[in-house]
Amino acid sequence: MKRTFCTVLMIGLLLSACAKQQILDKINLFIVASFDEISRDQLEITLVVPRFQAGKPEAVSDELYSKIGNTSTGIRESLRAQMDKPLQPGKLSVVLFGSDKASSGIEKELDVLLRNAFFSRGMYLAVVDGRAKNVLEANFNKKQEKGIFLYHVLDANTKNGTLPSQNLHEFEYALVGKGLDPYLPLIRNDHGRVVVSGTALFKNDKFVATLDSSQSRLMKLLLENVNEGIFEVKLDSGAFLAIENVGSTVKYHMKNEAILISLNMNCKIREAERYSTSDEHLRSLKKQFKEQLHQEETELIKTFQKKAIDPLGLGDFARSRNRHWKEEDWMRQYPTMKVDVDVHVNIMESGIKL
Amino acid sequence: MTSHIHERKTVSPYLTFVIVHAMLFGIDFLFLVIKPIQMAGQDAWTGVLLCSVGIHIVIVMMYSILNRHRTDLMHIHIRLFGQGIGMMLNMIFTVYFLFVSVYQVRLFIEVIQVWVFPELKTWSLALVLLLIAYYIISGGFRVIVGICMFSLINTLFFVTIFFMIPYFHFNNLLPAMSHSPHDIFGATKDLTTSYMGIETLLFCYPFIKTPEKSQKWAHWGVLSMTLIYVVEVIFTIITFKTEQLSDELWPGLTKYKFIQFPFVERFEFIGSSATILRLFPVICLSIWVSNRIMKFTFAIRQRKVLPFMLGLVFIATCLIPNRVGVDLVHSWIRQSGISVIFGYIPALFLFDISRTKVKKTK
């Protein structure tokens, strides 16, 4: 009895261990992929497959594979015909969308990324100004693998830069959630360099408007608590000053049908240009900075309202404060709604000089 | 007709906590939040509390029946309803527990097939799992309770929630109490599935040393699971939008997708394989219970029935082909579980009380 038990257990264990092996040297990983629209129902996918040379850990070259087809998984299948090793999608960390593809909707491609258990929810998505393939073709970095480099560019710009945080999970969250619209970073190929040029705003799954990088920084201030970022202030005298944000907090309030956003910012003077930082001057500087910030933020919100997009999630906020919130009613009143921004600025330090 | 279990085979009363914890912390935990949240949205956590209150009352009823007769349910059945009907009720319970274990085994294999090895055959993994289950169950009740201890390790995986802190949106919890009582009761009813498993206590009772003292531990077990469920529901509400959840299958595993370590790129492989810790306690206890009923009914040795039972589970597991099949079995088990916990046990309780009253007046 015991012997039969042991034999059957061993056979079972050995049989169930016969799963497909995937050894790193024998598969093709890709870290970045891009989607471009060719015609109405055809798209082009480009994958960048890193090639490592034995014995030289720093020597990485990239190989581009691209193919046109109807569905993304079908294209992946036909890409396999060009490759020497099986393709493994598990490491995909950056997905780029060409601006044409983004404007005609990316819901189908998102579904592929969300459905497959092998894709991470922390991957970055970005919209490319122009064709996404052009960015991947550019030789922007010789030392690092392109995908890793792009991942680090987006990661650095999100964690301590102008981009509001957005990965696959957050994009889906904003896309399916009621009363908020998603946004993605916008990058472009600037003479062989990859530049993060701003934010792409979406209406549902379609790319409709862009913000430049100073506007994205202003939007980030309204979305989350930020503790970095340089702001230029134009003084009455015409001179420019640079002020660094060392910690801003943002809070939304609902006051009888109007939304009040209160923004509190602690900052440091970075560039004073012989401008004396006496008490009186500081006060006027503070006032000017405050007014400038207030005006810029209000303008930003006005643009959102005009385009009927809601990347700040004001609708979602209103939903959480109002039991009888309806999406249709909200969309009707949103473009003309009153949104106030209340800015408080606190200049804490002026560096190690007066 | 009180069944006597040798003291060597019994466990301490505090281990009731472990049994309850292990039975409730099954694989279902990975997706228990979806339906309640779809029904009651941000108020789903009130459903958890309501359901927990109901379960506490059911436990009180169970213990009052058991303490009065000082034996387990299969003896009580025969005592209350006579040989024929009692036997039939016992057989119904056997089938129910077998179905629970079939469902759990198939669910675990499905998780592995979707998340780790898509090309894995159902039968090969089922064979290995059931052979290990045979090894554990033939060790007796004390060994099974020992295996239940492993489910406590699952609580450690709760720490992973803190990796999602950057994605929290506390606004999702507001406005509180905006759903109708009807929705909240719907969520409560749906959550009963996650409390299924306490009915095993009806059969474990004689195996507990000084069983009257174990009631307190059963309550503590349910209380600890209520806390875990409330936390899980609240964390899910603040991380995901309700619309997002409607097309997730296993939000409990999706949350592992946010975790990245330099040395483990994909935590979900570890997380989905670790569900085996949830699987074994549940299937071992369920098969043990049905096995015990068979032994009692047909007066054969437990060792002889066990391979036969495992064979049945194996065949039934292999017969469930896909997601749709798993869902179908789930809905059967849900219905029967709800009717056992909130229908049969209270009915039995009332019947038992009125019977003793009638006897006294005579």
Closest-CA distance of chain A to residue B195, Å: 28
pLDDT digits (tens, 9 = 90+) for B186-221: 888 888 888 888 888 899 888 988 888 889 999 999
* Cα-based angle A300, A302, A304 (whole degrees, multiple of 5): 75
Length of chain B: 362
Q: Which residues on A lie below 8 Å from B258 (Cβ)?
A: 121-122, 169
Rounded distance between C-alpha atoms, residue B75 and residue B297, angstroms: 10
* Chain B residues touching chain A at CB-CB below 8 Å: 114-115, 117, 119-121, 124-125, 127-128, 131-132, 134-135, 166-167, 169, 171-175, 178, 240-241, 243-244, 254, 257-258, 260, 265-266, 268
pLDDT of residue B2: 47
Domain B7-350, CATH:
1.20.1740.10
Of A12, A16, A320, the CB nearest to B174: A320
The contacts of residue A253 (CB under 8 Å, 6+ apart) are A259, A260, A261, A262
How many Å apart are CA A238 and CA A293, to the nearest integer? 17
Residue A110 shares a structural domain with residue A158: yes
Q: Does A121 touch chain B (CB under 8 A)?
A: yes
Using the CB atoms, write b or e for A308-343: b if 16+ within 10 Å: ebbbbbbbbbbbbebeebeeeebeeebeebebebeb
Chain A residues lying within 8 Å of B132, measured CB to CB: 9
Residues A168, A262, single domain; the answer is no
Do the Cβ atoms of B79 and B294 come closer than 8 Å? Answer: no
Of all residues in chain A, the one with the smallest CA distance to B120 is A19
- What is the phi/psi pair of residue A125, to 5°? -115, 150
Contacts 24+ apart (CB under 8 A), B290-293: B290/B93, B290/B94, B290/B95, B290/B97, B290/B98, B290/B101, B291/B137, B292/B74, B292/B203, B293/B74, B293/B90, B293/B91, B293/B93, B293/B94, B293/B203
Average pLDDT, chain B: 87
Q: Give phi and psi for A124, each to the nearest 5.
A: -95, 140
Contact B243 A178 (CB under 8 A): yes
CA-to-CA distance for B181 and A283, rounded, in angstroms? 56
Residue of A nearest to B112 (CA): A117
- Considering only CA atoms, which of B293, B270, B6, B311 is closest in space to residue B133? B311
Scanning A162-221 for CB atoms below 8 A from B yields 165, 169-170, 172-173, 176-178
CA nearest to B214, candidates B202, B227, B229:
B202
Report CA torsion sign: B170, B171, B172, B174.
positive
Considering the domain architecture, whether residues A65 and A202 belong to the same structural domain is answered as yes
Tell me the three state secondary structure of residue A254.
strand
B134: chain A residues, CB-CB within 8 Å: 5
Residue A341 lies inside a defined structural domain of this protein: yes
A18 interaction partners in chain B (CB closer than 8 Å)? 124
A351 C-beta neighbours (distance < 10 Å), count: 12
For A32: left if phi > 0, alpha if psi spans -120 to 50, otherwise beta; the answer is: beta
Q: Which is nearest to B316 in space by CA: B94, B116, B100?
A: B100
Q: Which chain A residues are within 8 Å of B266, Cβ to Cβ?
A: 90, 120
Question: B349: number of CA atoms within 13 Å, CB side?
Answer: 17
Residue B220 is predicted with a pLDDT of 93
Q: What is the rounded distance in angstroms from the CA atom of residue B25 to the CA atom of residue B231?
A: 14
User: Does some domain include residue A13?
Assistant: no
Q: Which residues of A touch B124 (CB under 8 A)?
A: 12, 15-16, 18
Helix, strand, coil shares, percent, chain B, to 5: 80, 0, 20
* Closest CA of chain A from B5, distance in Å: 27
Examine the fold and report which residue of A180, A212, A244 is the final residue of a domain before the chain moves on: A212
> Do residue A187 and residue A243 come from a single domain?
no
Q: Which of A118, A148, A178, A320 to mutate to test the interface with B (most CBs of B within 10 A)?
A: A320
Establish if A326 touches chain B: CB-CB under 8 angstroms.
no
Instruction: Give the per-residue pLDDT at A70.
Output: 83
Interface probe for A, chosen from B257, B264, B267, B273 (most Cβ of A below 10 Å), is B257
pLDDT digits (tens, 9 = 90+) for B158-186: 888 888 888 888 888 888 788 888 888 88
Each of the 354 residues of chain A gets a pLDDT tens digit; together they read 678 878 877 777 776 666 677 777 788 888 888 888 888 778 888 888 887 777 776 667 778 888 888 887 788 778 878 888 888 877 888 999 998 888 888 888 888 888 888 888 888 999 998 888 888 888 777 777 888 888 988 988 888 777 887 889 899 999 988 888 999 999 988 888 888 888 999 988 889 999 888 888 888 888 888 888 888 887 777 777 888 888 889 999 888 778 899 999 888 887 776 656 677 777 888 888 888 889 989 999 999 998 888 888 888 888 888 888 888 888 888 888 888 888 888 888 777 766
CB of A24 within 8 Å of any CB in chain B?
no
Is 50 exceeded by the pLDDT of residue B1? no
Residues of the domain holding A136: 22-212
Distance from CA of A304 to the nearest CA of B (A): 21
Q: What is the pLDDT of residues B109-136, one digit of tens each?
A: 999 888 888 888 888 889 889 988 998 9
Q: Phi/psi at B294 (nearest 5 deg)?
A: -60, -45
Q: What one-character DSSP code corresponds to residue B262?
A: S
Compute the nearest-CA separation of A39 from chain B (Å).
30
pLDDT at site B145 = 92
Q: Which H helix or E strand runs over A159?
A: helix A146-159
Query: A189 and A240 in one domain?
Result: no
Q: Which of B114, B117, B124 sits opposite A15 (nearest CB)?
A: B124
Here the ipTM equals: 0.82
Tell me, yes or no, whether A298 lies in a domain: yes
Q: Using an 8 Å CB-CB cutoff, list chain A residues near B323.
A: none
Question: Are the C-beta atoms of residues A320 and A213 closer than 8 Å to each other?
Answer: no
Encoded tokens for A1: 């009895």
Q: What total of structural domains would you count in chain A? A: 2
Distance CA A344, CA B350 (A): 67
Which of A16, A173, A178 lies closest to B128 in CB terms?
Answer: A16
Phi, psi of B270 (to 5 degrees): -65, -45
pLDDT at B40 (0 to 100)? 86
Q: Does residue A243 share a domain with residue A189?
A: no
A182 and A58 together in one domain = yes
Beta-strand pair A124-128/A183-190: parallel
Are residues A328 and A273 part of one domain?
yes
Q: pLDDT at residue B287 above 90?
A: yes
Say yes or no: A62 and A151 in one domain: yes
Answer yes or no: do A193 and A335 share one domain. no
CA distances to A118, A248, B175, B238 from B166, in Å: 22, 17, 22, 11
Out of B175, B257, B265, the one facing A321 most closely (by C-beta) is B175
Average confidence (pLDDT) over B11-17: 90
Q: How far is CA B167 from the centre of its chain?
A: 30
Residues with Cβ within 8 Å of B335's Cβ and at least 6 positions away in sequence, in order, are none
CB contacts, 8 Å: A16 with chain B: 120-121, 124-125, 127-128
Q: Is the pLDDT reported for residue B254 higher than 50?
A: yes
Yes or no: say if A343 and A290 are a contact pair by the CB < 8 Å rule.
yes
B166: three-class secondary structure by DSSP: helix
Q: What percent of chain B has pLDDT over 90?
A: 27
Same domain, A73 and A194: yes
In B, minimum Cα distance to A111 occurs at B247
CATH of the domain at A244: 3.30.300.210
- Chain A, 38 to 97: residues with Cβ < 8 Å from chain B are 90-91
A340 close contact with B: CB closer than 8 A? no
Q: Which of A147, A180, A212 is the last residue of a domain?
A: A212
Contact assignment for B124 to A320 by CB distance below 8 Å? no
Q: What is the pLDDT of residue A243?
A: 84
Q: Quick check: is A354 in a domain?
A: no
Q: Domain segments of chain B: what residues?
A: 7-350
Is it the case that residue B32 has pLDDT exceeding 80?
yes
Residues A170 and A254 in one domain: no
Q: For the purposes of burial, counting CB atoms within 10 Å of the CB of B295, is it exposed (0-12), middle (13-18) or buried (19 or more)? A: middle
A16 assigned to some structural domain: no
| B314 vs B132: CA distance, rounded Å | 13
Residue B3, Cβ neighbours under 10 Å: how many? Answer: 13
